Amino acid sequence: MSTVKPFVKGFFDNRTFSIQYVVSDPETKKCAIVDPVLDFDEKSGATATGNADAVLAYVEQQGLKVEWILDTHPHADHLSAALYLKQKTGAPTAIGEKVVEVQKLWKSIYNWPHFRADGSQWDKLFAEGETFKVGGIPAKVLFSPGHTLASITYEIGDAAFVHDTLFMPDSGTARADFPGGSAAQLYESIIEILSLPDETRIFTGHDYQPGGREPLWESTVAEQKAKNIHMSRCKSEVEFIKLRETRDKTLSMPRLILHALQVNMNGGRLPEPEANGRRYLKFPLDALQGAAWDDQ
């Protein structure tokens, strides 16, 4: 699988430091969209589709046909544009089957007793190890929990889309302190990803531009093994868990986590309009730790 090279185009969102991808088969001109972003301004409550529309414009310019709209997990730092893109392209949406565990957890946090925690909000739930294709390029799903209960990696040809599991080598690894997270599981997931061939291209879902450098999102397994600031210095799982948990205790919650999860665990669906025609988000108070009282 790793010898087949899809073409990968990344789109960086400055507001959330997220990267959404179009991964395409040059021969068939078929493609998948990975981790699309719906624009959201939490100060005004405004939503927009600028990021997703940029992806659609690229797809049209390149003469591509969208076969899949893929999310790696229910995101905590941006809203998913999966449903919007499905409406625009007709392509099926997909995520890992363990999303039901995230739904069950957050259903309780949001006190939504009637919410369907069965994954039916997506067209396809991928099982661990399941295979599919993007055009003629073989693809495989790796179960990559730790950052969340449901995180998966899409291995498409020689490209692996790992989202929050690994960052660029100078940024290390994902946090594991969200509800359902586990540093031990994260370590196992990373070891599986780093067992892929050294030349496998790694595409991450965020880049926070350490030192103010330009945004980057592509590395290789070999580069990650040699230079990742967390993995290269941790010689054992015990060392990694200590490093990860120590760092996580210093981090505040993402600014959009309570906004995003109620949308993203529902397949990118915004809340239904109420009688006045407006949509409203719901916030549980005192449900999460990690208040940033000292951040001004």
Q: What digits encode the pLDDT tens for the residues 5-47?
A: 999 999 999 999 999 999 999 999 999 999 999 999 999 999 9
Q: How confident is the model at residue 135 (pLDDT cuts 50, 70, 90)?
A: very high
Please, are residues 27 and 5 in contact by the beta-carbon 8 Å criterion?
no
User: Which residues have C-beta within 8 Å of that of residue 139, sequence separation ≥ 6?
Assistant: 1, 32, 131, 132, 133, 154, 155, 156, 157
CATH of domain 7-264: 3.60.15.10
Q: Which pLDDT belongs to residue 292?
A: 72
Q: Which pLDDT belongs to residue 289?
A: 81
Listing DSSP states for 119-142 in one string gives STTSSEEEPTT-EEEETTEEEEEE
pLDDT tens, residue by residue, 275-288: 999 999 999 999 88
pLDDT tens, residue by residue, 154-213: 999 999 999 989 999 999 999 999 888 999 999 999 999 999 999 999 999 999 999 999
Quick one: which of 189, 188, 181, 193 has its CA closest to 219? 193
Helix axes 257-264, 99-109, angle to 10 degrees: 120
User: Which residues have C-beta within 8 Å of that of residue 56, sequence separation ≥ 6?
Assistant: 85, 88, 89
What are the residue ranges of helices labelled H in 211-256? Answer: 221-227, 237-248
Q: Which pLDDT belongs to residue 296?
A: 45
In whole angstroms, give the CA distance from residue 147 to residue 180: 8
Question: Mean pLDDT across the stretch 75-94?
Answer: 97
**Beta strands across the sheet bearing 218-220:** 131-134, 137-143, 152-156, 159-163, 201-204, 218-220
Please, are residues 142 and 153 in contact by the beta-carbon 8 Å criterion?
yes
Token pair 């951040």: residue: 295
Token pair 């990650």: residue: 224
pLDDT tens, residue by residue, 202-247: 999 999 999 999 999 999 999 999 999 999 989 899 999 999 999 9
Q: Which of 26-35, 120-129, 248-257 has the lowest mean pLDDT?
A: 248-257
Beta bridge partners of 220: 201
Q: Which residue ranges make up each domain of the chain?
A: 7-264
Please, are residues 131 and 139 in contact by the beta-carbon 8 Å criterion?
yes
Q: Output the average pLDDT for the chain.
A: 95
Q: Which pLDDT belongs to residue 179?
A: 86
Q: Which pLDDT belongs to residue 1?
A: 55
Q: How confident is the model at residue 103 (pLDDT cuts 50, 70, 90)?
A: very high
Question: Mean pLDDT across the stretch 50-73?
Answer: 98
User: Which residues have C-beta within 8 Å of that of residue 53, sequence separation ≥ 6?
Assistant: none
Q: Which pLDDT belongs to residue 11?
A: 98
Q: What is the pTM of this model?
A: 0.94
